[in-house]
Structure 1
Amino acid sequence: MKKFMLLLLFCHVVSPVLHSMKYFYTASSQVPNFPEFVEVGLVDDVQMVHYDSNTQRMVPKQDWMEKVTGYLPNYWDRETQRCQSEQPVFKVNIDTLKKRFNQTGGVHIVQVMYGCEWDDETGATNGFRQYGYDGEDFIAFDLMTKTWIAPTPQAVISKNKLDRETGQNEYWKNYLTQECIDWLKKYLGYGRSTLLRTESPSVSLLQKTPSSPVTCHASGFYPNKIMLFWRRDGEELHEDVDHGEILHNHDGTFQKSVDLDVSSVKPEDWGRYSCVFQLSGVNEDIVTKLDPKVIKTNWGRTEIKRDGAPDSPSEFPTRVVVGVVVGLLALVVICIAGFIFWKKRNNGFQKANTSDGSDGSASSVEAAPLK
């Protein structure tokens, strides 16, 4: 089976006031136990809608999304019909790209990601729309020029056709910079009590063996606009530090860890190090000193909770296992929901040679009737 990589586009350094709305379409062939077509929508990385070819129904994933039906009668029926009409188009997309890449059978995946971002402090906005194929960039829309970027020769046919569709490109420029932002603000208003809440985490220091890195693990925070880092003498460390990704917890909160290599740290210098957690909307940082007495290990177990009190020693094995299981479950849920991300955002695309010598035949990749 052809391998593909799941890349979670979360970074430990994020804007404290940046909101986003994103839609992801995933069409697949010969992927066991996975729907052939999936659409999900998110606001601030919280899933709000879901559709797949097995259920054949667009459904809300948050209670506050039910408010949409009050403003837009038959909204869910219309969205369901739209998704059902898109399924065969994406199926053709896969067949088209298999021919482009001289492929036959096997696992293949076409993806579309589009949406917008809004900084509620500065008012700055950004939009993006791009396609991926088998985990790699295929083509992306350039908002500034209202043209398409083809990072691979196989996408040049699509680029040439899309660049000629000036009316459609103007529509996408307007949607991504205006209409999408308007909907994002509406959804933030609908889900204010959920999306704009703040929850502080429990922070633990973990170490597998005396020679292993010390992991600073924060779990239970919301939103995921955070910074988690190690510092020495008050200065942030960048060397000997390994940042983990932000993962979902089963209750809708998030977890993240950052490792510190202490192999070269002298015992008398441990007090110079600390782990710092910063949460958007909360002025007070959670600072955890690098102290052997508070590190949870297989030979000595304590935990620093948000109130500063040590936790029960017996909880270490359970919480570590639960954390691993939650992380694995999150990956499964992410996969099923269609979050099979590819490598770059649209501003990272590199153009391919546009003189491909093709016959100019149309591609169905761009034919998907995305809203």
Structure 2
Amino acid sequence: MRKRATAKQVAEAAGVSKWTVIRAFTPGASITEESKRKVLETAAALNYTPNLLARSLATNATHQVAVFVDDFANPQKLPFLETLTERLQAAGLVVMLININNHFDHVHALLHADQRQVDAIILFGTAFRNETLTDHQLGRGMPPMFVLARDSQIDGVPAVVCDAERALKDIVDHLHERGYRRPGFMTGATVLSTALRRRQHFAEFWEEKGVRDIAVLSAERYSAQAGAEAVRQYLNSTNATDRVDVLMCENDILAIGAMDEMRGKYGLRVPEDMAIVGFDNYELGGSSAYSLTTYEQPRHQMVELIVGMITGRVDAETVSLPGKLVIRGST
């Protein structure tokens, strides 16, 4: 491989000091327009680009952010990741995506990110428990951590979330007004479900309306297949007269899988035989094939806030933002 040109070589060719070369590539640095033009022209001729890793040794900042994700079967992750990576890159930060699932040790992954000297870690949909993040191996020198799109119960780890309490109140009010009285709830992965609090608020608001008996369907993961499997088990084990009249699914991909199974294998009509509600406003759910009632998270606002916290423009504290109910034909 051809050796890269160095700042020293550019400085010698341009007839300036090495520090003038560094200032030319540093946004906001004090340098005359003539000197900057001379340096940039020489750098282009020598095919020189600054070594950001070397510069990080002096600035103590690598401008790298690690994003931890585990539930890749959930397609709603992609719009969030697109928005998140776009905003981080626009802020001059490089994203390091780390796959965390049952096959990888979470503490090891955190230590690995720290060894890469990332400036921050974003926990996005990952099943971290308090005891994991307070492991004795994780010292005080760890980079700051932030949680995106789920609650954080850990001191010193702020979260940016959609207001689950407000969301579920809006959903339950809508379903009650439509005359539904036998609700059910489909959860996703157990740890993540606890962090999302959607089931908890769903039960609380139905209880306020005098409905305490809520059927619970459990999916092992966030995927269409898991949603289909969970509703299949429920329908096979429940008499038609005893079934729920509306099923709230913890997210849209579970709802889509459940709806496909109900209509395809059992011939049930939505919403006449059973209404369906999702969460996230995944694009496919809005198609005529599903017309899924759902709740849309304020994705862009959430991402802007968490990027602002990482860059220091916004105070690092837990923030809960309202979304909006999207009513369609499934209810």
Q: Report TM bin, short chain.
A: under 0.3
Please say which structure displays the higher CA radius of gyration.
2
For CA contacts below 8 A with separation 6 or more, give which structure has more relative contact order. 1
Higher strand share: 1
TM-score in terms of structure 2 length: 0.25
